[in-house]
């Protein structure tokens, strides 16, 4: 249920309805919120460990993200060694 609500951005009310429709488990929107909070608490140590491993790594593979500004497509990525620098379509700071 947390996956539906958080990853697929399905609203709370619809997520609760889905749980009843799919699994015959009626629940309130508050239950969905509590599950998301509990899930975040459980996963936080793993998130921290992954983040620290990335910081300590000599090489970090990352997905670059495309953006569109003024009808122009661009690609940007952040340099681990200089996080204040953003490369946009091959232009480096």
Same domain, 48 and 79: no
Same domain, 47 and 82: no
Instruction: Tell me the backbone φ, ψ of residue 26, rounded to 5 degrees.
Output: -65, 140
What are the Cα distances from residue 39, in Å, to 16, 32, 56?
Answer: 16, 10, 26
The average confidence (pLDDT) of the chain is 80
Task: Please say whether the beta carbons of 32 and 5 come within 8 A.
Answer: yes
- 3-state SS, residue 43: helix
Range of the domain at 70: 62-93
Same domain, 13 and 45: yes
**Domain count for the chain:** 2
Give the pLDDT of residue 72: 72
Report, as ranges of residue numbers, the positions in the chain whose pLDDT lies below 70: 59-67, 69, 74-93
Q: For residue 78, what are the contacts with CB-CB under 8 A and spacing of at least 6?
A: 62, 85, 86, 87
Give the pLDDT of residue 19: 95
pTM over 0.75, yes/no: no
Same domain, 19 and 49: yes
Give the pLDDT of residue 92: 44
Same domain, 11 and 37: yes
């Amino acid at each position: 249920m947390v996956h539906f609500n958080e990853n697929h951005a399905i609203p709370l009310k619809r997520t609760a309805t889905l749980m009843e429709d799919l699994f015959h488990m009626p629940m309130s929107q508050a239950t969905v919120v509590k599950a998301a909070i509990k899930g975040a608490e459980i996963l936080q140590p793993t998130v921290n460990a992954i983040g620290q491993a990335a910081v300590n790594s000599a090489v970090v593979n990352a997905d670059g993200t495309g953006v569109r500004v003024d009808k122009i497509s661009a690609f940007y990525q952040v340099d681990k060694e200089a996080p204040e620098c953003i490369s946009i379509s091959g232009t480096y700071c």
